[in-house]
């Protein structure tokens, strides 16, 4: 029992509700703050990655453009006829290479057939290379300066980047090709970029979309390796198809990373920077711990506040509930509860007091309705039975008699059918008023059916029939008086069955006898009264005819046939 009361207690529910609110708010706050912090920091980190990627792309583009411009100037300033003298040409290349060594593997000159005729510095195997094997060689012969695709140098075995520009003769025709090769990891080119780090675990890659290969990276293992497939790295695949920007994506090894993509000016290359999401958001874990500790402290504080609030604010409510419980058990009578404070609890108590007052009034109304007819306000069968019991007991005690007059209206059904139930209700209410004027103060007038009334007359002297006859005649006269409904006069009569008794009879038998006598009055012409035969009391059959009107109109179920 105590466990049930504890489970149903308001303080238990309030405490559980408080804990729920704290937990829910902590979870909500945790998710909102963490998501906000993650999104905000991820956005900042992504912008930073974009800035770094753009810087790297611009730097690489600048270094490539610098070498391209330098190579084109050298080609334009080769002395006429110098290319025909290999020794002089090699000396000229040496001077310019040592003066400005932008190409780490030196310069070389090839004839129009693509054969390298002179180079500086001389590298084993370079002169055996034919430039016609390069896909872009024909573009060079057409007059364009070409940055070749990265490749492993056949001479050195290192990743190199070839650059070719046409050499023109005095007539402007392409007579040869001037070229230079750059080692990707050479000082002054991409060496410092390959040594760079983006945070403790971030990095960058220089990717050739055409070949789908990594040109350079801060991780040497990745150089000249194929890029991940579209399934392994969807964001990189979008970037290879032309998209540029930043965002959060999953790497080929399944790690969430902040990535940024930027194009290298003057090339179709792509710079990719990446930083693991966990490394980019170092404060998120600290914030998680802080929120967890704050949630526990808040839960404890709210728990204590809820308990104190319950004992302080709901003390009047507990007292009112205890009093109401005692009223329910019948230990104290129903009475208004005391109002201590004019707060919500006080308002609830006043509302309960108002409800209690209305309940008492409603009980009184229900008790009245249970014993009275709703339309006429007369006693119903239930109250009539009680009154008959009392009347019979009184008759036996005082050695007097009673008479029961069973009245059934004649001509009520035509009125009800022709004018409607509302008019029928008005007729019943009017007849009730007339019969009340006939009945004595000690008598009971009851409505027991649609157009059926019972008049219980008490304290009659012998002979009992005489007093009952007087009452019956008065009832017939009162009912038969003209009845006006609107502008029409409605004829109405009544048939009465009478049963008398000196107190030594049964209430049901008395009522049945009067009812049967009323049937006999109906059969005898209506508008009259008939006494019940001997056997109910001290009565005999007597028919007193009065002029009545035959009726056929009453509410359904109330007309006697």
| Residues 451 and 488 both lie in one domain | yes
Question: So what's the pLDDT on residue 548?
Answer: 34
Of the residues 443, 451, 515, 520, which is catalytic? 451
**Full-prediction pTM beyond 0.85?**
no
Q: Can you give the CATH number for the domain in which 419 is found?
A: 3.30.70.270
| Residues 327 and 442 both lie in one domain | no
Q: Which of 183, 209, 234 is the last residue of a domain?
A: 183
| Secondary structure (DSSP) of 386-431 | HHHHHHHHHHHHHT-EEEEEEEEEESHHHHHHHH-HHHHHHHHHHH
Q: Can you give the CATH number for the domain in which 153 is found?
A: 3.30.450.20
Report yes or no on 502 lying in a domain.
yes
Reported as a pLDDT band with limits 50, 70 and 90, residue 546 is very low
Report yes or no on 358 lying in a domain.
yes
CB-CB contact of 97 with 67 (8 Å): no
Q: Chain-wide mean pLDDT for the chain?
A: 80
Contacts of residues 126-129 at CB distance under 8 Å and 24 or more positions apart, as own/partner, are: 126/154, 126/155, 129/154, 129/155
**Burial of 8 by CB count in 10 Å (0-12 exposed, 13-18 middle, 19+ buried)?**
exposed
DSSP-derived letter for residue 443 is S
Highest mean pLDDT among 32-41, 118-127, 294-303, 423-432: 423-432
Report yes or no on 273 lying in a domain.
no
Q: For 201-213, how does the pLDDT look when each residue is reduced to its tens digit (9 = 90+)? A: 778 888 888 888 8
Report yes or no on 354 lying in a domain.
yes
* Helix (H), strand (E) at residue 449: none
- Which residue would you say has higher pLDDT here, 134 or 54? 54
Q: For 69-94, how does the pLDDT look when each residue is reduced to its tens digit (9 = 90+)? A: 999 999 888 888 887 888 888 999 89
| Residues 341 and 407 both lie in one domain | no
Q: For 418-433, how does the pLDDT look when each residue is reduced to its tens digit (9 = 90+)? A: 888 888 888 999 999 9
| Residues 386 and 516 both lie in one domain | yes
Q: What residues make up the domain containing 176?
A: 78-183
CB-CB contact of 205 with 272 (8 Å): yes
Q: For 493-533, how does the pLDDT look when each residue is reduced to its tens digit (9 = 90+)? A: 999 999 999 888 889 999 999 999 999 998 888 889 999 88
| Residues 413 and 520 both lie in one domain | yes
* Strand-pair partners of 257: 249, 276
The total number of structural domains in the chain stands at: 3
Contacts of residues 111-116 at CB distance under 8 Å and 24 or more positions apart, as own/partner, are: 111/175, 111/176, 111/177, 112/141, 112/174, 112/175, 112/176, 112/177, 114/177
Measured CA to CA, the distance from residue 111 to residue 130 in angstroms comes to: 10
Question: What are the phi and psi torsion angles at 497 (to 5°)?
Answer: -110, 135
| Residues 414 and 516 both lie in one domain | yes
| Residues 511 and 410 both lie in one domain | yes
Tokens of 383: 């109250």
Of 126, 132, 140, 52, nearest to 93 (Cα)?
126
| Residues 356 and 400 both lie in one domain | no
Strands 146-147, 151-152: pairing is unpaired
Measured CA to CA, the distance from residue 364 to residue 378 in angstroms comes to: 16
Report yes or no on 435 lying in a domain.
yes
| Residues 537 and 476 both lie in one domain | yes
Distance of CA 50 to the CA centre of its chain: 40
Report yes or no on 335 lying in a domain.
yes
451 in catalytic set:
yes
Report yes or no on 344 lying in a domain.
yes
| Residues 392 and 539 both lie in one domain | yes
Question: So what's the pLDDT on residue 442?
Answer: 86
| Residues 462 and 328 both lie in one domain | no
Question: So what's the pLDDT on residue 459?
Answer: 84
Measured CA to CA, the distance from residue 395 to residue 508 in angstroms comes to: 16
Report yes or no on 163 lying in a domain.
yes
| Residues 430 and 520 both lie in one domain | yes
- Which residue would you say has higher pLDDT here, 458 or 561? 458
Q: Which of 155, 183, 211 is the last residue of a domain?
A: 183
């Amino acid at each position: 029992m105590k466990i049930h009361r504890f489970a149903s207690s308001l303080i238990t529910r309030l405490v559980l509700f408080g804990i729920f609110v704290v937990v829910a708010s902590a979870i909500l706050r945790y998710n909102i703050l963490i998501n906000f912090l993650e999104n905000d920091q991820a956005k900042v980190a992504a912008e930073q990655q974009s800035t770094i990627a753009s810087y790297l792309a611009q730097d690489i583009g600048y270094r490539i453009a610098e070498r391209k411009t330098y190579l084109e100037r050298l080609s334009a300033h080769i002395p006429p006829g110098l290319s025909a003298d290999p020794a002089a040409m090699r000396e000229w290349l040496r001077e310019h290479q040592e003066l400005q060594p932008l190409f780490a593997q030196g310069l070389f000159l090839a004839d129009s057939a693509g054969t390298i005729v002179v180079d500086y510095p001389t590298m084993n195997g370079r002169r055996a290379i034919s430039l016609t094997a390069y896909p872009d060689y024909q573009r060079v012969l057409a007059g364009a300066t070409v940055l070749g695709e990265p490749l492993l140098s056949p001479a050195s075995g290192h990743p190199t980047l070839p650059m070719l520009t046409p050499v023109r003769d005095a007539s402007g025709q392409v007579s040869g090709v001037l070229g230079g090769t750059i080692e990707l990891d050479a000082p002054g080119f991409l060496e410092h970029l390959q040594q760079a780090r983006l945070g403790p675990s971030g990095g960058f890659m220089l990717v050739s979309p055409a070949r789908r290969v990594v040109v350079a990276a801060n991780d040497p293992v990745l150089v000249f390796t194929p890029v991940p497939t579209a399934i392994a790295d969807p964001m990189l695949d979008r970037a290879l198809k032309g998209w540029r920007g930043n965002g959060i994506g999953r790497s080929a090894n399944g790690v969430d990373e902040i990535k940024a993509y930027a194009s290298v000016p003057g090339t179709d290359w792509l710079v990719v920077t990446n930083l693991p999401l966990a490394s980019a958001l170092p404060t998120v874990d600290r914030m998680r711990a802080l929120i967890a500790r704050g949630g526990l402290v808040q839960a404890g504080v709210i728990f204590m506040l809820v308990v104190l609030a319950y004992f302080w604010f709901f003390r009047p409510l507990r007292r009112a509930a205890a009093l109401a419980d005692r009223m329910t058990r019948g230990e104290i009578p129903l009475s208004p509860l005391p109002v201590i404070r004019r707060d919500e609890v006080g308002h609830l108590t006043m509302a309960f007091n108002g409800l209690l007052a209305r309940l008492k009034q409603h009980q009184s109304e229900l008790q009245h309705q249970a014993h009275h007819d709703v339309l006429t306000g007369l006693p119903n069968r239930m109250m009539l039975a009680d009154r008959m019991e009392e009347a019979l007991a009184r008759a036996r005690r005082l050695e007097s008699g009673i008479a029961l007059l069973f009245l059934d209206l004649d001509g009520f059904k035509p009125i009800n059918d022709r004018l409607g139930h509302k008019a029928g209700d008005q007729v019943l209410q009017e007849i009730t008023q007339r019969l009340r004027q006939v009945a004595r103060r000690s008598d009971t007038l009851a409505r027991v059916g649609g157009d059926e009334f019972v008049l219980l007359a008490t304290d009659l002297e012998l002979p009992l029939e005489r007093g009952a006859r007087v009452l019956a005649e008065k009832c017939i006269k009162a009912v038969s008086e003209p009845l006006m409904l609107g502008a029409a006069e409605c004829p109405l009569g009544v048939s009465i069955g009478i049963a008398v008794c000196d107190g030594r009879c049964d209430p049901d038998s008395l009522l049945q006898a009067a009812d049967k006598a009323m049937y006999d009055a109906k059969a005898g012409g209506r508008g009259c009264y008939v006494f019940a035969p001997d056997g109910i009391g001290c009565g005999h059959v007597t028919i007193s005819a009065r002029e009545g009107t035959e009726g056929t109109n009453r509410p359904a179920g109330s007309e006697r046939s």
